[in-house]
Structure 1
């Protein structure tokens, strides 16, 4: 995961004139500060009267593909969500259809991070059921996990080796 969540904002007048001119900006700054940096970058343009810009690159969005014309406010909101949930924020946004759906999943449906979904199935079963010792070795937690996922009860995001984030699918 990148330490910085930032965007590269390009000056479109300079770009169209064959110049590379832009600035890397921390996307988690206050929106007014981001806009001030864009305004300063455009004021320093090698092309007279530069006004238009676009996001040409980004770092630290961890799986989420930020669009070129999504706008500073949306980029800022996405960056703040990823900063708030650094373990899985970018992957969750890539999985969900929008920011509000991702926020709901993070706040209401997150079960935790496990080495596997089977480990979560085992923990859930042991916390909610009384299992006789002599039957415990016969429980197939991998099959339970597969059924939970295939049945649509949960979805998972794998963000690294033995880093499986489990969410209830509501």
Structure 2
């Protein structure tokens, strides 16, 4: 069973989010099982698409329990899941919560799963995700390169260097900038690359 300080950028527009393709290997699915059957040593349950409307998911769970050989089958638990990336679905997570996460994954893929894992199910929503998400990049270095380019810092340094004659002595410390970004922003490693979130 799978239980399983950036530089001040206020004066500039932040770089546009760039999202790397991260289609889930499978749709977000949950395996819901009858607890009474499980406690009696029997496996009785069914896989359900967590993207379905909540009412429909509950109907499928009720139908699964009704089909049990145990006439007293009334309780259930989520005993397995697929398509949620690194997010761990709990045995007794509310169906409404699991459904909301599945919808976010359907729309945004792995980055949304990483976001929920980062902030927790109580604080996660599509709105907060869209406010915080800055994109997915192959590496943090690739993001920093794009960040510097979007902010126009290299061009400003070159202009200043030309005016002052200090050009040969001026450069951006990309290594320190990466460290600053990791300190002030959330950088989550994933299958598709690194997911960047502001706090």
Range class of TM-score, shorter chain: 0.7 to 0.9
Structure 1 residue 9, shift from structure 2 partner: 0.6
Structure 1 residue 16, shift from structure 2 partner: 1.8
Higher strand share goes to which structure?
A: 1
TM-score, normalised via structure 1 length: 0.85
- Partner residue, 2:37: 14
Distance across 2 between alignment mates of 1:6 and 1:39: 17
Aligned length: 166
Residue aligned with 2:92, SS: coil
- Partner residue, 1:110: 133
TM-score, normalised via structure 2 length: 0.74
Q: Against the structure 1 CA distance between its residues 36 and 114, is the aligned structure 2 distance closer, same or farther, given a 3 Å change threshold?
A: same
Between the two structures, name the one with larger relative contact order (CA 8 Å, sep ≥ 6): 2
Q: CA contact under 8 A between 1:105 and 1:167: conserved in structure 2?
A: no
Using the TM superposition, name which of 123-132 and 72-81 deviates more: 123-132
- Partner residue, 1:50: 73
Q: CA contact under 8 A between 2:29 and 2:83: conserved in structure 1?
A: yes
Q: CA contact under 8 A between 1:27 and 1:79: conserved in structure 2?
A: yes
Q: Return 5+ residue gaps in structure 1 as ranges.
A: none
Structure 1 residue 102, shift from structure 2 partner: 5.5
Distance across 2 between alignment mates of 1:136 and 1:31: 61
